């Protein structure tokens, strides 16, 4: 009977190991497709009049991405990153020029002082959910002078 219990215990451990490995593979694939490590972009200008740059997902070269601007951690605006940027094609950053964005800051009347801007690409997730992916690793700081 001890031999049967040992075999059963080994089978349970082996089954558990396979299940954990399977969950890890599925989670990794889901993360890779949802959080594209291929997302490329930059904030080129961050000053008191505008925040502008570009974002591209090389897997979807013809598709401009929706971007959202956050200043000092607060949502400011959303738009499609579809401005023509021929310089991106010339530099080899993208294969299509329709990936630029620009947010004019005048309408938002930000107070004088230092501010932090971050732009996020919006990606669809499960159901009606959306995921925000930062275009740059670090927010860009800029000054508002009055």
**How many CB atoms are closer than 10 A to CB 142?**
20
Mean pLDDT of the chain: 87
Average pLDDT rounded to a whole number, residues 98-127: 92
Residue 123 has pLDDT above 90, yes or no: no
Which is higher by pLDDT, 9 or 83?
83
Least confident range of 52-61, 74-83, 92-101, 118-127: 118-127
Task: For residue 119, give both structure tokens.
Answer: 């732009």
Residues 6+ apart with CB under 8 A from 57: 36, 38, 39, 40, 63, 65, 121
pLDDT reported for residue 142: 96
Ramachandran assignment for 54, one of left (phi > 0), alpha (psi -120 to 50 degrees), beta (any other) = beta
Degrees to nearest 5, angle at CA 17 with 16 and 20:
85
Residue 144 has pLDDT above 70, yes or no: yes
pLDDT reported for residue 66: 96
pTM of the model as a whole: 0.73
Report phi then psi at 111, rounded to 5.
-70, 160
What's the CA gap between 133 and 94, in Å, rounded?
A: 18
pLDDT reported for residue 26: 64
Least confident range of 12-16, 27-31, 61-65, 117-121: 27-31
């Amino acid at each position: 009977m001890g031999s049967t219990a040992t075999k059963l215990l080994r089978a349970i451990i082996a089954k558990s190991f396979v299940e954990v490995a399977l969950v890890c593979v599925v989670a990794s694939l889901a993360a890779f497709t949802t959080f594209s490590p291929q997302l490329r972009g930059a904030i080129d200008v961050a000053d008191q009049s505008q925040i502008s740059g570009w974002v591209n997902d090389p897997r979807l070269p013809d598709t401009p991405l929706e971007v959202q601007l956050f200043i000092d951690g607060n949502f400011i605006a959303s738009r499609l990153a579809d401005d023509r940027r021929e310089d991106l094609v010339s530099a080899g950053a993208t294969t299509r020029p329709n990936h630029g964005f620009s947010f004019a800051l005048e309408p938002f009347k930000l107070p004088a002082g230092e501010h932090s801007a971050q732009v996020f690409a919006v990606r669809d997730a499960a159901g009606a959910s959306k995921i925000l992916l930062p275009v740059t690793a670090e927010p860009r700081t800029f000054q508002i002078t009055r």
